[in-house]
Structure formats: C-alpha cells, structure tokens
C-alpha cells in the first residue's frame, strides 16, 4: 500500500530525492508498470541500459531493501559526510540544474542543510541570493522563523496560518487538484 501522493509525485518525471528509507515511491511507480532505479544501488544499471537520470530516485538515508544503508542513529548522521559524499554531490547537481519541490519534508535534516549551504556558497553573488530560487517548499502551517530561514532561497507555500485552519485538508485538496490537472493534460 502507498499513498496516492506518491503516484502523483512519480508522474512529475524529474529526478526524485527522499530521506525516507521505505519503498513506497518504488511501489507507486511499479503500480504504473514503471521501473524507477534507486540510487546509488542501481546507478550502474542506469548507465548500462541508458536509462534517463530524470526518472530515478535518490535515497539519501538508505533503503529498506539495503538495511545496512539506513541512516537512523546519531552516529549514522555524524558519519554521513564521510560515507555518502557521492550522494551529496548528486544532490548538488540537481540543485544547480533543477527547480526542487519539497513536499512532505520538514527541512530539519542537517545533511540537507549542509547541501543547501554549499549551494549558497556557489550561486550567491557577493554573499547575496541570486534572483532565481532553488525551488519551492510546501509546508502545512505558517512559521515566521521558518520563512525567515528559507524565503531567500525558496518559494514558500503554506496550507494554513495555524493548525486550526486544517492545513492537512488543504494540502490533500492541493494534491488532488494537481493530480486532476495532470490527468486532464495526459
């Protein structure tokens, strides 16, 4: 079983990135008879079959199918820069060339913070943000400190001012709208 949002996100076609180690995204793709190579484990397969990198899934924190790869403990996080530099490099490349959509991601992962900070060092001019943002972050509720932290680099879209606004409902409506729009176009 997988949520419909995973099917929708799979239909967007750009490379997908997750810190989740479950296999819901892969199951959603398989339900559409689409094979999505998971990186880094199937990178050689992609080269061999000339598979487009746009239809791939980068799993930053491991995968249940490769239990030793899962980043879960504090020591796993502390060792991440040493053990996963190539994955970080791949994400750097994606940030340089693609608008990134953060959906269902809390933006609290230290490894992702480091990658975004690396990008700031590369693309900022004289320490100032470029006029082109890295992408969009979808959040459930407004948070002034969160906005202040990320609004120079990302477009921010909140589904409610507070939890009293029932942002989960608006979030689900937004995904339903996106799915229906995509289905109409396809």
Check: CB of residue 27 under 8 Å from CB of residue 2. Answer: yes
Mean pLDDT to the nearest integer, 110-123: 92
- Tell me which of 51 and 70 has the higher pLDDT: 70
**pLDDT confidence of 53, banded at 50, 70, 90?**
confident
170: which 2 tokens?
A: 């608006």
61 given a catalytic annotation: yes
d(CA 35, CA 27): 9
**Angle made by CA atoms 90, 33, 21, in degrees to the nearest 5:** 40
46: which 2 tokens?
A: 């992609």
Whether 4 shows a pLDDT value over 80: the answer reads no
- Name the nearest CA neighbour of 3 among 103, 98, 91: 103
Q: Which residue has the tokens 């459930």?
A: 140
The reported pLDDT for the residue numbered 12 is: 63
**Active-site annotation holder among 35, 51, 61, 113:** 61
Residue 154's φ and ψ, nearest 5 degrees, are -135, 150
Check: CB of residue 64 under 8 Å from CB of residue 26. Answer: no
Neighbours of 102 (CB within 10 A): 19
Q: 27-36, 58-67, 127-136: which has the minimum mean pLDDT? A: 27-36
* Cα dihedral 8, 11, 36, 18 sign: negative
Whether 119 shows a pLDDT value over 90: the answer reads yes
């Amino acid at each position: 079983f997988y949520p419909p949002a995973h099917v929708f996100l799979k239909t967007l076609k750009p490379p997908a990135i997750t810190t989740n180690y479950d296999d819901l995204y892969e199951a959603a793709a398989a339900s559409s008879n689409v094979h999505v190579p998971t990186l880094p484990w199937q990178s050689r397969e992609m080269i061999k079959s000339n598979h487009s990198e746009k239809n791939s899934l980068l799993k930053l924190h491991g995968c249940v199918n490769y239990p030793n790869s899962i980043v879960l403990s504090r020591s796993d996080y502390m060792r991440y820069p040493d053990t996963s530099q190539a994955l970080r490099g791949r994400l750097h490349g994606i940030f340089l060339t693609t608008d990134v959509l953060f959906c269902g991601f809390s933006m609290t992962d230290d490894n992702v913070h480091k990658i975004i900070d690396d990008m700031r060092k590369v693309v900022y001019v004289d320490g100032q943000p470029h006029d082109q943002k890295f992408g969009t972050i979808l959040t459930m509720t407004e948070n002034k400190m969160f906005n202040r932290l990320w609004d120079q680099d990302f477009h921010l879209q909140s589904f409610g001012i507070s939890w009293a606004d029932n942002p989960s409902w608006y979030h689900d409506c937004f995904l339903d709208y996106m799915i229906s729009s995509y289905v109409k176009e396809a």
